[in-house]
Amino acid sequence: MAGIGKQRLHLAWVSSAEAQRFVEVVTQTTDSVKAQGKFDPKAFAFELAAAELTLAEETLRWMVGKEVKITTKGDVFGRRWDRDTFESILDSLLERVYQKNLILQAVKEGHTSVRDIHKKIGLDLKRISYLLADMENRNIVEFAGMEESKPIFAAL
Amino acid sequence: MDRKAVYKPYAQAIPGAFAIEKIDTAPCRVACPANLNVQGYVAMVKMGKYREAVEIIMQDLPFPGILGRICPHGCEKSCRRLELDEAISIRELKRVAADHVDLSDIPVPEITSRNEKVAIIGSGPAGLTAAYFLALDGYQVSVYESMPEAGGMMRYGIPEHRLPRTVLDAEIENLKRYGIQIHTHTVIGRDITIEELREHGASAIFLAIGAWKGLKLRIPGEETSQGVSDVTAFLREVHLGNLKKLGGKIVIIGGGHSALDAARVALRLGAGEAHILYRRSRTEMLAEPEEVEETEKEGVKIHFLSAPISISSKNEKVTGIECIRTRLTEKDTTGRRRPIPVEGSEFFIEANYIIPAIGQEPDLGNLAKAQDLKVSKWNLLEVNPETLQTNIPDIFAGGDVISGPATVIEAVEAGQRVAKYIAKYLQGEELPAEWQDEPPMGTNWVAPPKDEPTKDRLKIPTLPVEKRISGYEEVNLCADEESAKQEADRCLNCGGCCECYQCVAVCEAEAVTLETHAQQEETTTINVGSVVLAPGFQPFDPSKFDNYNYASHPNIITSTEFERILSATGPFMGHLTRISDKKEPKKIAWFQCIGSRDLNRCDNPYCSSVCCMYAVKEAVIAKEHADYDLDCAIFFMDMRTPGKDFEKYYNDAKDKHGVRFIRSRVHTIDRVPETDDLEVRYVTESGEEKKEIFDMIVLSVGMEISPETINLANNLGIDLTQGNFCETKNFKPFATSRDGIFVCGAFQGPKDIPESVMEASAAACSAGVSLAPARGSLIKEKAFPDETDITGEEPRIGIFVCNCGINIGGIADVPAVVEYAKGLPNVAYVEENLFTCSQDTQKQMAEVIKEQNLNRIVVAACTPRTHEPLFQETIRNAGLNEYLFDMANIRNQCTWVHSDDKEHATEKSKDLVRMAVARASLLEPIPDISVDVNPSALIIGGGVAGMTTALGFADQGFPAIIVEKSSVLGGAARDLSKTWKGQDIQQYLSELVDKVEQHSDIKVLRNAEVVGASGFVGNFETQVVVGNQTETVEHGVVMVATGGKAADTEEYLYGKNPRVTRWHDLEHDPEKLKNAEIIVFIQCVGSRDENRPYCSRICCTGSILQAISIKQSNPDARVFILYRDIRTYGEKEYLYKKAREMGVVFVRYSLDNKPKITEIENGLQVDVFDPILQKNLRIQADYVNLATAIEPAQNHKISEFYKIPLNAENFFMEAHAKLRPVEFANDGIFLCGLAHYPKAMEESISQAMAATSRAITVLAKGSVQISPLVSQVDAEKCIGCGLCAEVCPFNAIMLEEIEGKGYRAKNISASCKGCGLCASSCPQQAIDMLHFRDRQIVASICAAV
Amino acid sequence: MKEFEPKIVAFLCNWCAYAGADLAGVSRLQYPPNIRTVRVMCSGRVDPLFVLQAFKQGCDGVLVAG
């Protein structure tokens, strides 16, 4: 989502007896990362910062932590979600939190109007407005007045 | 076995050390008077290591070049090569080595000088050898020689054409480097006396004056004629240069070397003719045949069987010699054939010179008398034959002076011997008074290779005859290096290790030293209270089956060999390869029951239990290894997979992996012409003849008890079964027939790893019961110094970079890594080690830590998984907390895996060191956690397993509480009458119940149920409801023995028709079938189907036992057993055989075509398809008896209370099927009996004892050390949400109410496994892991780039 | 020009993948020299933030193996 590329992160299960498998995993990972080319953290500094905030976000960590319980035993209301439902909800939450953090980063950098933010992060204007409203409610940003008939925001 | 004398038993051997094969000394060495290490130097010559060869020779004598020429090589007569072709040319190989080495290049070993002086009279081989060894020992040695030059008979007796003076001079000259003083022209008694030697400080004197006086012929004319001279005088004059020319003819009398020497020298001096008279025949000649041959070639005429009668002379000058022919008698009492004259056979030889060469004696002169030395009637000095000491204590004598003329090698022996005893004498030791017999020669030698070809013995080149006579050029020439190598290669290495000590020289770790190399098998006596036998089995050797061609075809291998092929450390690095052409096989067949279930051809009537499962496993793994479509087929009789989860594996092999299972025994294997493939022919169950071609065949070989083990059993006096396994009773499966001796593993009966491991613990438990009072009495507590407080100190990191011999240093540039590490932040000290793990490095590390005030240590070496504990102990010994330590794994995860990329391996090593240093800077001391253990056990379940463990605990002094849900003890055993070995279960059960009830340390709660539990290892609290009352039990361990029972079924009219029973019902009511004529048993009712995809393991044996019992009481009854596979594993197979012999009819059915039962008048009609007859069978049965499945008790609640896992069939899941089969991953909770899996009574008992044994390891300690690497909650950040408690797999975090703050998370260290799941999922990031803190991990990450 | 050699941080579980990696060494199996191992007691210990941290430091890839 942050544009780093899925091919740079690999997950694998290797048991203690599977030396051969370990070699395969490392070789594949290396090949696939090689194909991605050099990663320049400076070029992604903005996205990485947003992603970091996202991963530290409480709701998301809750969702992940509760996954097993919610998909096997049910939530506090006793509803049991199947894995697919859970994952689609988790995905949309992840997207939402990440987008908010992108906006927050943009605001912090001085992109204070919706259009400025749009220019920086490319998200559509409506979505930015919607998320900004939510962020305002949660005291993450505040409405800092009007500038040339555009509302401007500041980070709190 | 094809291996070197230094070998590693096998690739995965533990310890991973090498052994040196020491067997009996090679016969050549034994035969050598000087005990020369022949095999050693021959091996060196083979490798072209001449210098090493000479060094080996010089361990035993100082004259390699001399003896390489003139030794009579008696050793060659005992060479075992003679059994094949001809002896090795040992002497020549010695010469080749000597001729390639300049002795002055061989360093003189470090000699510790001593003050004592020794005087040696005579510089012959005996004198000089004694001088050499005494000098090596540090003594001050002076040699006195009467002649102008040293060497004795080597110089004045042996002519130059046999021993060039350059060789002799060099080897004598060399001795001076050892500090030996040689005084020539010094005659004892004339120039210096014995008394004067003593006055000059000689504390011992060795007389080695030789035998220089020739014996007389004692015939007329000898004394009166000029031209008669004994051989010693003759040769001496020649060698002194006094006699340079000789005209006329010469006759020499004698058959030894000196006779030949004199004749050949005479020719070289210009004699016209040289004759030798010898009174015996050619075969009796003392000189070796090749020497005789060369002599004759040069023109010497040898008259065999001829003796001198008188010497004729004219004008007192010799004119000739009158001789007579002789003949030899039969062997006399001394074994020799005596010559006697043949009358009338006189003849005459014209001669100018007569040289008697018939023997010598010492020329003692005045010496003996002056010193009061005893002299024998042969005019020889008398000595103690062992020590060579004369009657005068400080005077020793040896060599020809005590023996008469003998060989140089015998003189060397005398020199060695006297050196040894003079040294002892000088050290004031008591010398033996008598001859000391050597231990008899052992003949346990390396067997000659089976197919060793015959090879020609080395032919020694000689100088052409025409070149010889003109001078004294050496006749025998040195063999070229290539021929010498080939000759040395003929050596059979009889003695195993040749003791060349090359391994000592190359072992940089100094693990092999002269001392460790000398280690030998020792016999020691140990006093013990119990003995556990675990000698294991040997795989059946199928080479005795000629129809399987195992021995003759490379692509027919055993299953154990196939395991090696699959192994990553195997011959093909885990790549699937067939032997003949190293290609990937496309089709592999397994043949089951090779050497099992077969009385006719291999005497192994039992089932080996493990082969079906391993064959299935091998087939599946082979398919996984192959990245192509590999076809695997298993030919079998019954598929026996009764172990836990085995049936599922079998099903997966069939259904998911496509392994083919063919129910048939292959009768013939044929080679497919012009290929390496094999055609197998077999008959299917329905009688159809089939052929199929495979490119590889694996024989699933069974288990056998080795002859050595049988021998051991006989020595110990324990009984064996008919299959040679250890005889045990079902109720004590780990006890042998002899008290105090226990058994476990495959020796008890064929079994797999989990069962062996269980039984091992069970045997340990039984052994422990009788040893309980001695517990801990032989243990030494280890004490550590107090820990240094490092609070507030800046990190001072010490780094130790290991070369691991060449494992690391041979690939990565270790000095560069060291240099790099010195520049890293906080690093105070860096050093490089050859082996950081070696004991001396540990000592040094502890010292460095103190000297340099280091407070963090990083070792860059192998893996922390094996070596961290060692280094932690070391730094703990230096006063550092063990957690101030980290490792950089630059071997297993760097140099070993990047051995072809040295540059990157070095870079990666630097990175790994940098990461470890970054983390180490942030490491903190962590105190140990120890918790007290409540030394008692709670046992859930009062069946045989539960009661067995209760007694196990209580008998070793640990109170036990049994929680039994019913009102009676006994569990599933109450449904059974007899074990498979025929023992009465009910009687055993009642005795067991009595013992349990009467034991003061056992409390039984009946009608009781566990309703809740908390706590951790050593400190559990379990809530138990008894009747209406709930009580809380505090205990240290939990034993889960909840048991199981025979399942109900609705199949086959059970419960609807009284003629249908379960086998457990029948056990209670054996009378029921008394009058029945036809009984049908149906197996696998509810087992091995969709609902219960497991085998109930015990029902085949159960039904067969009942069938046998019916047949015994009513032989006319007709009994049918309808089965899917008969699984009478191990020695239960005998019962199957017995049942068939008694006429029980076995009919196989398949899951998709089960038998059908219909009610008919007065009975039941059973329809079943018989696959052998290929038609339906209809049986009118009186009764049908069902072998229903064994199912576990309701285990869900127990599983939840203790957080212990269940498998899909509700059996409990042990921590590890093979390695930890009786315990759970959660510490302090153990498992046994049917709750684990269906099993026979003896298996339950074994497992119960095993679990007890494991549990007692916890209880006996009093406290448990638990890993302090646990989670740590920051109470400030924590909001008490409880997510951590929820994600924790081990119940190791709980919420605790804190006044005024609500709930906060709290870690329970004893339960925490340190996995860190809580830390990584805490929404508040309020949890951190000790030793793996966020910042420590992040530091490594940051240092990675 | 030298071939691009990426730096990859590998989080390996002490009991599984780390042991597997050790065994690969014992078996002398060869693989590319690009990974830099961080040993953890369980792959569950790997906070996604660690992964992000690796990228922030300029790692080219991350492997988590349990």
- Three-class SS of residue B1235? helix
How many CB pairs (< 8 A) connect A and B?
25
Count of domains in chain C? 1
Judged against a pLDDT cut of 90, whether residue B78 lies above it is answered with yes
Query: Mutation test of the interface with chain C: which of A6, A7, A10, A26, choosing the one with the most C Cβ atoms within 10 A?
Result: A26
Burial label for B251, CB within 10 Å (0-12, 13-18, 19+), is buried
Residue B1225's pLDDT is: 82
Asked whether residue C3 is domain-assigned, the answer is no
Residue B2's pLDDT is: 60
For residue B1212, the one-letter residue type is: F
**B1325 near B1338, Cβ under 8 Å?**
no
Residue B954's pLDDT is: 95
Judged against a pLDDT cut of 50, whether residue A151 lies above it is answered with yes
Lowest mean pLDDT, pick from B365-374, B1044-1053, B1074-1083 = B365-374
Query: Mutation test of the interface with chain C: which of B901, B903, B1320, B1324, choosing the one with the most C Cβ atoms within 10 A?
Result: B1320
Lowest mean pLDDT, pick from A12-21, B188-197, B385-394, B1042-1051 = A12-21
Residue B63's pLDDT is: 97
- Whole-angstrom Cα distance, residue B431 to residue B388? 10
Smallest Cα–Cα separation from B1224: which of B1268, B1255, B1256? Answer: B1255
Q: What is the pairing mode between strands B1190-1192 and B1044-1046?
A: antiparallel
pLDDT (tens digit, 9 = 90+) per residue, B836-849? Answer: 988 888 999 999 99
Asked whether residue A14 is domain-assigned, the answer is no
pLDDT (tens digit, 9 = 90+) per residue, B791-816? Answer: 889 999 999 999 988 889 989 999 99
Report CA dihedral (B225, B230, B236, B240) to the nearest 10 degrees. Answer: 0
**B341 near B328, Cβ under 8 Å?**
no
* Torsion angles phi and psi, residue B687, rounded to 5: 95, 5
Lowest mean pLDDT, pick from A10-24, B697-711, B1052-1066 = A10-24
Mean pLDDT within B934-953: 96
Residues near B34 by Cβ (< 8 Å), separated by ≥ 6?
A: B60, B61, B409, B412, B413, B416
- Three-class SS of residue B1226? coil
Q: What angle do CA B658, B661, B666 make, to 5 degrees?
A: 140
Residue B499's pLDDT is: 87
- Whole-angstrom Cα distance, residue B1052 to residue B1086? 11
Taking an 8 Å cut-off on Cβ atoms, the answer to whether A66 and B1286 are in contact is yes
Asked whether residue C2 is domain-assigned, the answer is no
Residue B16's pLDDT is: 67
Mean pLDDT within B51-66: 95
pLDDT (tens digit, 9 = 90+) per residue, B1101-1141? Answer: 999 999 999 999 999 999 999 999 999 999 999 999 999 99
Two tokens, residue B1073: 């079938």
Kindly indicate the confidence band of residue B381, based on its pLDDT and cuts at 50, 70 and 90.
very high
- Whole-angstrom Cα distance, residue B526 to residue B788? 42
The residue of chain B with its CA nearest to that of A21 is B625
**B672 near B693, Cβ under 8 Å?**
yes
Sign of dihedral through CA atoms B213, B218, B219, B223? positive
Taking an 8 Å cut-off on Cβ atoms, the answer to whether A37 and C27 are in contact is no
Tell me the angle at which helices B864-877 and B839-851 cross, rounded to the nearest 10 degrees.
Answer: 50
pLDDT (tens digit, 9 = 90+) per residue, B982-1018? Answer: 999 999 999 999 999 999 999 999 999 999 998 888 9
**B210: contact with C, CB 8 A cutoff:** no
> Which residues on A lie below 8 Å from B1325 (Cβ)?
56
* Torsion angles phi and psi, residue B825, rounded to 5: -60, 145
Q: Determine the distance in angstroms separating the CA of C45 from the nearest CA of chain A, rounded to an integer.
A: 13
Q: What is the percent of chain B where pLDDT is above 90?
A: 75
Two tokens, residue B70: 């003139």
CATH number of the domain to which A79 belongs? 1.10.10
Count of domains in chain A? 1
Residue C2's pLDDT is: 65
For residue A84, the one-letter residue type is: D
Smallest Cα–Cα separation from B1260: which of B1093, B1018, B1059? Answer: B1018
Smallest Cα–Cα separation from B968: which of B938, B996, B949? Answer: B996
Tell me the angle at which helices B611-625 and B646-655 cross, rounded to the nearest 10 degrees.
Answer: 40
Taking an 8 Å cut-off on Cβ atoms, the answer to whether B1323 and A58 are in contact is yes
**A30 near C32, Cβ under 8 Å?**
yes
Asked whether residue A28 is domain-assigned, the answer is no
What integer best gives the mean pLDDT of chain B?
92
Q: Provide the domain limits for residue C33.
A: 8-65
Residue C1's pLDDT is: 47
Chain C neighbours, 3+ Cβ pairs < 8 A: A, B
Lowest mean pLDDT, pick from B163-177, B1163-1177, B1270-1284 = B1270-1284
- Whole-angstrom Cα distance, residue B837 to residue B862? 10
Asked whether residue A144 is domain-assigned, the answer is yes
Burial label for B339, CB within 10 Å (0-12, 13-18, 19+), is buried
For residue B712, the one-letter residue type is: L
Asked whether residue A2 is domain-assigned, the answer is no
Q: Determine the distance in angstroms separating the CA of C18 from the nearest CA of chain A, rounded to an integer.
A: 7
Asked whether residue C44 is domain-assigned, the answer is yes
**Residue ranges of E strands in C1-66:** 8-13, 35-40, 61-65
Taking an 8 Å cut-off on Cβ atoms, the answer to whether A29 and C4 are in contact is no
Judged against a pLDDT cut of 80, whether residue B774 lies above it is answered with no
pLDDT (tens digit, 9 = 90+) per residue, B311-363? Answer: 999 998 999 999 999 999 888 887 788 899 999 999 999 999 999 999 999 99
**Residue ranges of E strands in B810-912:** 827-833, 856-861, 885-889
- Whole-angstrom Cα distance, residue B1284 to residue B1317? 8
Smallest Cα–Cα separation from B418: which of B453, B387, B380? Answer: B387
- Whole-angstrom Cα distance, residue B73 to residue B54? 17
Q: Determine the distance in angstroms separating the CA of B1141 from the nearest CA of chain A, rounded to an integer.
A: 46
Global ipTM: 0.89
Kindly indicate the confidence band of residue B279, based on its pLDDT and cuts at 50, 70 and 90.
very high
pLDDT (tens digit, 9 = 90+) per residue, B1304-1320? Answer: 898 888 788 888 989 98
Task: State the SS3 of B462-499.
Answer: ECCHHHHCCCCCCCECCCCHHHHHHHHHCCCCCCECCC
Burial label for B1123, CB within 10 Å (0-12, 13-18, 19+), is buried
pTM of this prediction? Answer: 0.65
Residue B1313's pLDDT is: 83
For residue C63, the one-letter residue type is: L
Kindly indicate the confidence band of residue B522, based on its pLDDT and cuts at 50, 70 and 90.
confident
Q: What angle do CA B1129, B1134, B1139 make, to 5 degrees?
A: 110
Taking an 8 Å cut-off on Cβ atoms, the answer to whether C33 and B574 are in contact is no
pLDDT (tens digit, 9 = 90+) per residue, B1226-1235? Answer: 889 999 999 9
pLDDT (tens digit, 9 = 90+) per residue, B1033-1060? Answer: 999 999 999 999 999 999 999 999 999 9
Mean pLDDT within B32-37: 94
Q: Provide the domain limits for residue A143.
A: 44-155
- Whole-angstrom Cα distance, residue B390 to residue B386? 11
The residue of chain B with its CA nearest to that of C60 is B1345
Kindly indicate the confidence band of residue B1, based on its pLDDT and cuts at 50, 70 and 90.
very low
Residues near B520 by Cβ (< 8 Å), separated by ≥ 6?
A: B22
- Whole-angstrom Cα distance, residue B1285 to residue B1322? 10
Residue B1087's pLDDT is: 96
Residue B13's pLDDT is: 64
Q: Which of B892, B1317, B1338 sits opposite C25 (nearest CB)?
A: B892
Mean pLDDT within C42-57: 90
Residue A2's pLDDT is: 61
Kindly indicate the confidence band of residue A44, based on its pLDDT and cuts at 50, 70 and 90.
confident
Mean pLDDT within A4-20: 83
**B448 near B492, Cβ under 8 Å?**
yes
Residue A118's pLDDT is: 87
Judged against a pLDDT cut of 80, whether residue B442 lies above it is answered with yes
Asked whether residue C1 is domain-assigned, the answer is no
Q: Cβ of B369: how many Cβ atoms within 10 Å? A: 10
Asked whether residue A116 is domain-assigned, the answer is yes
**B1064 near B1106, Cβ under 8 Å?**
no
Q: H/E element holding B141? A: strand B140-144
Judged against a pLDDT cut of 80, whether residue B1343 lies above it is answered with yes
Q: H/E element holding B820? A: helix B814-822
Which one is predicted more confidently, C48 or B54? B54
Smallest Cα–Cα separation from B114: which of B391, B384, B419, B515? Answer: B419
Chain A interface, Cβ < 8 Å to C? 4, 7-23, 25-27, 29-34, 36-41, 44, 48, 51-52, 55-56
Asked whether residue C12 is domain-assigned, the answer is yes
Query: Mutation test of the interface with chain C: which of B14, B865, B883, B893, choosing the one with the most C Cβ atoms within 10 A?
Result: B893
> Which residues on C lie below 8 Å from A44 (Cβ)?
55
Taking an 8 Å cut-off on Cβ atoms, the answer to whether B892 and C26 are in contact is yes
pLDDT (tens digit, 9 = 90+) per residue, B177-217? Answer: 999 999 999 999 889 999 999 999 999 999 999 999 999 99
Q: Determine the distance in angstroms separating the CA of C27 from the nearest CA of chain B, rounded to an integer.
A: 6
Sign of dihedral through CA atoms B216, B220, B222, B227? negative
Residue B770's pLDDT is: 77
**B979 near B917, Cβ under 8 Å?**
no
**B631 near B588, Cβ under 8 Å?**
yes
> Which residues on B lie below 8 Å from C3 (Cβ)?
none
- Whole-angstrom Cα distance, residue A75 to residue A63? 11
Residue B209's pLDDT is: 95
